[in-house]
Chains A and B, each alone.
Chain A
Amino acid sequence: MVTALNRNVVRDLWRLRGQLVPIILVMACGVGIYIAMRSTMRSLESARSKYYAEERFADMFVGVKRAPASLARRIETIDGVQSVETRVVVDVTLDVPGMIEAATGRIVSLPDRGRPAVNDVRLRSGRLPRRGNEVLVNEAFAKAHVLPLGARIGALIDGRYDDLEIVGTALSPEFIYAVAPGLMFPDDKRFGVFWMRRRAIAPAFDMTGAFNDVVLRVARGASLHDIELQVEDLVAPFGGAGVLWRENQVSAFFVANELVQLQSFATMIPALFLFVGVFLLNIVVGRVVSSQREIIAGLKAFGYRDREIGWYFAKLVGAVVAIGCILGVGIGVATGRAMTEIYERHFRFPELPFKLGSAETLEAAALVGIAAALGTAFAIRRAVTLLPAEGMRPEAPPVYRPTVLERMGLSRLFPVAAHSVLREIERKPRRSALTIAGVVMATGLTVMNTFSFDSIRHLLHVHFGLAQRETVQVSLHEPRGTALLSELEHLPGVQYGEPFRVVPVRFRAGSRVKSGSIVGMAQGTTLMALHDRQLARIALPVRGLVIAEKLAELLSVGVGDSLRVEILEGRRAVRTVEIARVVDTMMGTPAHMELASLCRMLQETPSMNGAWLHVDEAKLPQLHEAAKRKPVVTGVIERRATLRSARTTIDSYLGSWLVVGLLFSLVMSFGVLYNAVRITLAERSRELASLRVLGFRHREVGIILVGEMIVLICIALPIGLAFGYALAYAMATGPGFDTEQFRLPLVVSPSTYATATLAVVASAVVSGWRAWRMLERVDLVEVLKSHD
C-alpha cells in the first residue's frame, strides 16, 4: 500500500521541481559524460586489442636498406621473438586518375603465398592479389577517390609508370591512422597504402631475395630491450635505421594517445559535474529540511520515529539521483555514439561499435549515489536529530552582522538594497562559497573547452604561416648532389628553391637515447624559418645543432651540451655535436643543422634529398605532371593541401565537441545560479513581501533578490577565469597533449574568456528573470500570514 508519506515524496518532488530540475540536469550531465567517455574508451580499447590480436600486429618494426632474406631466420632465433615477417616496403609516386597532384603510395609486400605471419590485412572487399600488378588498397584511399574494383592506378616504379590493378580493399592495424611520412594528419586522397605480392614488387627495387623492412612479434614477458639490441646487431651491416617499438609506430601512437586524452577527461569532467550537482542537492535538501521544520516536528510529535523521517528524506534524495541517472544514461548513450562516430571517421577500425558498458553505468550510478549520500548526509541528519520541541519553537532568527562595507565605513555610498544583499551573503558564508565554487567550476570548464580552438589555430598558423613557407616540398628517392637544385628550379612554375637533407639519426645524451632525424638546410633560407619562443626569427647557426625543446627535455640537455649523434645510414658514423640553440616547436621534434656542416659530418659532398620550392600557383598542375615523370622524385606536397587536410581533420574533431561542451557548461552554471536565486527567493520572500507592503516597487525589491546572485558572480568570475586558465594549463602540459609528436600551445585568447563570461551571464539572466517573475507572483497577503 502506498502510504501517505510516500505519496508526499512524489508531491514534494513535484513541488520542488523548479529547484530540482537543474540539479537533475547537472547530475545527468556528469553521469552522461562519465558513461560516454568511459564506454567509448572501453569500446576503443577492446576494438583495438581485438584488431591487434586478430591481425597479429607487430611489436617491433625495423627498417633496413637491403638485407638478405636469410637474415629472417637468424632474427627468428633470437630469444623471445615469436614470429617474424620480412617485407619490401617502398614509397612511390602515384598518378591517380582524376587528381592532378601526385599522390604517395606506400607499397607493402605480401608474402608470395598465403598471409603474412605478422601484420596481416583484413580484407574488406574483393580478393587478395594473385599475380602481376594486382594490389589491395586501403579502404579509405579507395573511398576518397571512388575507386571501384578493377580500377587502375599508375605508380612510378623503376623509372616508368606501371599500372596497379585494384582487386580488393583492405584494412590493417598498421594503418589505423594513416599519415604520409613526415605529416601529422591523414590525407586519404594523397596517401594510400597498397599491398602486393612480393615477387611483383621486389625486382623493381632490387629486392629479389632481400628485404628492406621486417616486423616481428615477441613472446609475452620477453625483454624488448634485449631483443632490440640483438636485432640491431643483426641488421646493422645492412643499413638498419633503428628499431621502432609498437608504441612509437605512428598509427599505434595516435590511437594510444587518444585513449590517454580520454582518460584524463573521463575522470575530471564528470567529477566536476558530480561535485556541483551534489552540493546543489545539499543546499536544496538542507533548505527543505529547514523549511519543513515544523512539519517534521509535527510528524515526530505524532510518533514518527527518527529513522522514518530520515528515510523519507533519503527517498527524496534517492528519487532525484535515480532520475538523474536514468537521464544520464540517455545522455551518455547519445554522446557516446556521437564520439564513436567521430572516431570511426579518423581511425580505420574494421568496426567500432559503441557499447554501453554496464560496468561504467553501475559505476556512475554508484558514484552519484555515494556522493549524494555524503553530500546530503548532514542535512538529513539534522532532520533525523531534530527534537520535536525544538522544531515547534520558532527557529532562532538568522544572525546578521554588519557587512564588510559597513566595517570599512563605506556604508553611505551604497543604497540600502546593497546592504541587504551583502548581509545576506555574509550570513551564510558556506552556501555563498559553494555557489561561488560552482560558478568557478562552470567558468573554468568553459575555458578549458574553448581554448583548444585558439591554440590549434595558433599552432597551424605558426607552423604553416611562419615556419613552413614553401609552396611545395619535394622529396627525393635518395640523396643527390646539391646541383640537382637547379634542375628542380627548372621545373614548370618554380621560381626558386632551397635544398634540404634529412638524415635519420639516434641522439644519445648520457644514458638517454632518442631516435629522430636531422634536417640540414642552408643558412638564410626564406622558405623555412626557425623561431624562438617569442616567435622571433632566429638564424641558423653555422655550426652546431638546433633542436626542439621537447627533444632537449627528453634528453635532459640544453644549449652548450654535446650530443652523440649516431647516423643511421651510409657510413653509420658517430659524431659529437654541440647544441647551439633550443627552439620551441609544436609539431614533432626536429633537429636542424647547417647543410654544409651536416654533409661534412656525413663525410659527403653537399647533398640534398629534398627541396622547398616557391612556385607560381598557376603552374602547379604542370609541375605535378612534370614531377610525376621524374623517377627520383617521390613526393611533391603542397603546403596548402597539407594545411587544408589538417584543418578538415581538426574542425570535424573539435567543432562538435565545442558545442556540446558549451552546452554542458551552461547546464552547470545555470544549475548553480538558478538554485542560488531560488533559495534566496524562498527564504526571503516573506521579508521582501513585507517591503512591498511597505511601499517598495517590485523593481526595487527584485534587485535585492537578484543582487545577491550578481555579487556572487562578480566575485566568482575572475576566480573562474583564472581556474579556467589553470585547467587549460594542466591540459596542455598533460600527457595527452604534450607528446613527442605534437604539443598543444597554451593560447587562451580574450574571446575564450569572453565566451566563458557570457555563458555565466546568460545563465544568470535566465535564472534571474525566472526568479523575478516568480517574485511578482508571490501573494503578499499569504506570505505574511504563514510562518515561512
Chain B
Amino acid sequence: MALPQTSTVFHIDDVTKTYQMGKVVVHALRGVSLTIEDGEFVVMLGPSGSGKSTLLNILGGLDTPTEGSVLYRARELSHASRSELTEFRRQSVGFVFQFYNLMPSLTALENVQVVTDIAKDPMSPREALDIVGLGERVRHFPAQLSGGEQQRVAIARAIAKRPAVLLCDEPTGALDVSTGKLVLEALRFVNRKLGAAVIVITHNAAIAAMADRVVSIADGRIANVETNLVPADPCDISW
C-alpha cells in the first residue's frame, strides 16, 4: 500500500463489516483496503450483495467498520463519534442514491435548499440546479418530475455544498439509457469542473469506462483494481 499523502482523500485499511438484519448475520466486507485520491473518478463494480454499498456507506461516514481503519485526509473515521461523523458528512460529503430519496413535500429548489441551509459555503440552490440543467423546473415537486430529473435534483442537492467527495449508489439504476447518460454527464461535470472525488457504485460494467479507476468487488473483498488511462465520455457509453 502506498503511504497516505495529503492529496489522498480516503485511505481504507483492512476494513471488515458484519451486521445483523432481522435474524440474519451478514458479512458485508471482509478485509478491504483501498486508497482514493483527490479528484478521482472511481467506479466500484460488483453484483448485488457484494458489499459495495456497505463500503460506500463506510466511506461516507454513514457506518463504521467492525474492524480496520478509515482515514479521510489523515483523519481517523473508524473510531470517530457520531457527531464527528455527522460533522464530516455535513462539510465534506455529498450523496446520490439509487431511488433519489428526495423529500416529496418540497420543491426541487427546496430539496436542494435543505442541504445548503446547513452548509458552510454552499452555492445557491439555483446555481446547483442550473448545473444539472434543471433551472426551469425549480418549483416542481418530485412527483411532477421524471426519474431522470429527480436524480438530477438529487445530484444538484449533493453538489450544492461543494463537497470534497461525491458518493453515488447506483445513480442510473432506475433510469433508461439516455437519461442515465445525462446523469453521468452531470457527474462528470462535477468531477472535472468542481474537482470533487466521485465514487460511483454500480453493477453496470459499461459505466466503468468513464472512470479513472475501476474497483471490482465481490463477496466482500476487492477482486480487482483497473486503471483507465483514458476515461471515456459518457455520451460514448451505452448499455
Please determine if A and B sit in direct contact within the complex, based on CB atoms under 8 angstroms apart.
yes
**Minimal beta-carbon separation of B94 from chain A (angstroms):** 8
**Extra pairs beyond A3-B117, A303-B115, A305-B86 (4, CB < 8 Å):** A297-B62, A298-B101, A303-B90, A393-B21
CB distance from A548 to the nearest CB of B (A): 67
Q: Which one, A4-12, A247-255, A686-694, is touching chain B?
A: A4-12
**With an 8 A cutoff between CB atoms, is A299 at the interface?**
yes
B114 pairs with A392, CB closer than 8 A: no
- A392–B115 CB distance below 8 A: no
CA distance A225 to B87 in the complex (A): 75
The digit string for B88-131, where 1 denotes a CB below 8 A from any CB of A, is: 11110111010101010110001101110111000000000000
* Minimal Cβ-Cβ distance residue in A for B169: A392
Top 7 closest pairs, chain A to chain B, by CB: A303-B90, A389-B63, A11-B105, A4-B113, A396-B22, A388-B62, A303-B89
Asked if B51 is an interface residue, CB under 8 A from chain A, the answer is no
Asked if B139 is at the interface (CB within 8 A of a chain A CB), the reply is no
Does B60 sit at the interface, judged by CB under 8 A?
Answer: yes
What is the bound-complex CA distance between A690 and B105, given in angstroms? Answer: 25
User: Given that A304-B90, A389-B63, A397-B22 are known contacts, is A8 also in contact with B106, CB under 8 Å in the complex?
Assistant: yes
Contact call B86/A306, Cβ cutoff below 8 A = yes
Measured in the bound complex, the distance between the Cα atoms of B119 and A302 in whole Å is 9
Tell me the smallest distance from the CB of B53 to a CB of chain A, in Å. 8
Is A303 touching B91 in the complex (CB atoms < 8 A)?
Answer: yes
Q: Is the CB of B105 within 8 A of A12?
A: yes
Say if the beta carbon of B82 comes within 8 Å of chain A: yes
Q: How large is the interface on B (under 10, 10 to 19, 20 to 34, 35 or more residues)?
A: 35 or more
Q: Is the CB of B118 within 8 A of A392?
A: no
B101, A294: Cβ atoms closer than 8 Å: yes
Residues of A within 8 A of B6 (CB): none
Q: How far is the CA of A389 from the CA of B167 in the complex (A)?
A: 14
CB distance from A740 to the nearest CB of B (A): 62
Chain A residues near B90: list those with CB within 8 A: 302-305
Among candidates A3, A389, A787, residue contacting B62 with C-beta atoms closer than 8 Å: A389
The contact size tier of chain A is 20 to 34
Q: How far is the CB of B154 from chain A (nearest CB, A)?
A: 9
Q: Which residues of B contact A308 (CB under 8 A)?
A: 118
| Contacts A8-B106, A302-B114, A304-B118; A295 near B91 (Cβ below 8 A) | no
Given contacts A302-B95, A306-B86, contact A8 B105 (CB under 8 A): yes
Would you list which residues of chain B between 62 and 100 have a CB under 8 Å from chain A? 62-63, 82-83, 86-91, 93-95, 97, 99
A50 CB–B CB distance under 8 Å: no
Interface: A301 (CB within 8 A): yes
Contact B105 A15 (CB under 8 A): yes
Q: Are B57 and A389 in touch, CB under 8 angstroms?
A: yes
Contact between A304 and B103, CB atoms less than 8 A apart: no
In the complex, the chain B residue whose C-beta lies closest to that of A782 is B143
> A673–B91 Cα gap in the complex (Å)?
45
**Cβ contacts B9-30/A at 8 Å (1 or 0 each):** 0000000000001100000000
Q: How far is the CA of A396 from the CA of B63 in the complex (A)?
A: 18
CB neighbours of A300 from chain B (8 A): 62, 86, 89
Which residue on B lies nearest to A399, using beta carbons? B22
A722 within 8 A of B: no
For this complex, 28 residue pairs linking A to B, each with C-beta atoms less than 8 Å apart, are: A3-B113, A3-B114, A4-B106, A8-B103, A8-B106, A8-B110, A12-B105, A15-B105, A297-B62, A300-B62, A300-B89, A301-B60, A301-B95, A302-B89, A302-B95, A302-B158, A303-B86, A303-B93, A303-B118, A304-B90, A304-B118, A305-B90, A387-B62, A388-B63, A392-B53, A392-B57, A393-B21, A397-B22
Q: Given A392-B57, A392-B97, are A299 and B86 also a contact pair (CB < 8 Å)?
A: no
Q: Restricting to A299-352, which residues have a CB under 8 Å from any CB of B?
A: 299-306, 308
A5: nearest chain-B partner, CB-CB: B114
Q: Evaluate contact between B89 and A301: CB separation under 8 angstroms.
A: yes
Which A residues contact B (CB, under 8 angstroms)?
3-5, 7-8, 11-12, 15, 294-295, 297-306, 308, 387-389, 392-393, 396-397, 399, 786-787
Closest to B83 in A: A305
Q: How far is A454 from B157 in the complex, measured between Cα atoms in Å?
A: 66
The residue in chain A whose Cβ has the minimal distance to the Cβ of B113 is A4
Q: How far is the CB of B69 from chain A (nearest CB, A)?
A: 18
Identify the closest chain A residue to B17 (Cβ): A389
B60 partner residues in chain A, CB cutoff 8 A: 301
Task: Tell me, rounded to whole Å, the shortest Cβ–Cβ distance linking A390 to chain B.
Answer: 8
Bound: A397/B99 CA distance, A = 19
CB neighbours of A304 from chain B (8 A): 86, 90, 118
Bound together, the chains give a CA A297 to CA B83 distance in angstroms of 14
Task: Give, as a whole number of angstroms, the nearest-CB distance from B183 to chain A.
Answer: 17
Per-residue CB proximity of B139-170 to A under 8 Å, as 1/0?
00000000000000000011001000000000
Contacts of B88 in A (CB 8 A): 303
Are B97 and A298 in contact, CB atoms less than 8 angstroms apart?
Answer: yes
Known: A4-B111, A298-B95, A392-B62. A303 touches B21 (CB 8 A): no
Query: Which chain B positions have C-beta within 8 A of A396?
Result: 21-22
A787-B99 in contact given A4-B106, A4-B114, A303-B90 (Cβ < 8 Å): yes
In the docked arrangement, what's the CA distance between A303 and B57, Å?
13
Chain B residue numbers with a CB within 8 Å of A5 are 114, 117
Per the bound structure, the CA–CA distance linking A295 and B157 in Å amounts to: 13
Determine the chain A residues whose CB is within 8 A of the CB of B119 once the complex forms: 303
Q: How far is the CB of A387 from chain B (nearest CB, A)?
A: 7
Residue of A8, A300, A301, A304 with most partner-chain B CB within 10 A: A301
B161: A residues at CB distance < 8 A = 302-303
- Nearest opposing residue in chain A for B105, CB measure: A11
Q: Give the CA-CA distance A326 to B157 in the complex, in Å.
A: 38
B131 to chain A, nearest CB (A): 17
B117 touches A4 (CB 8 A): yes
- Which residues of the partner chain A approach B95 to less than 8 Å between Cβ atoms? 298, 301-302
Residues on A with C-beta less than 8 A from B54 are 389
Contacts of A15 in B (CB 8 A): 105
A456 to chain B, nearest CB (A): 53
A13's closest neighbor in chain B, by CB? B105
The minimal Cβ–Cβ distance linking B185 to chain A, given in whole angstroms, is 23
Closest B residue, CB atoms, query A786? B99
Within 8 Å CB of A397, what residues of B?
22
Residue of B nearest to A9 (CB): B105
Measured CB to CB, the nearest residue on chain B to A388 is B62
Complexed CA–CA distance, A306 and B113 (Å): 19
- A297 and B119 CA atoms in complex are apart in Å by 17
Docked pose: A583 CA to B93 CA in angstroms = 84
Cβ distance A9 to chain B, nearest Cβ, rounded Å: 10
Complex: chain A residue closest to B20, CB-CB: A396
Q: How far is the CA of A20 from the CA of B137 in the complex (A)?
A: 31
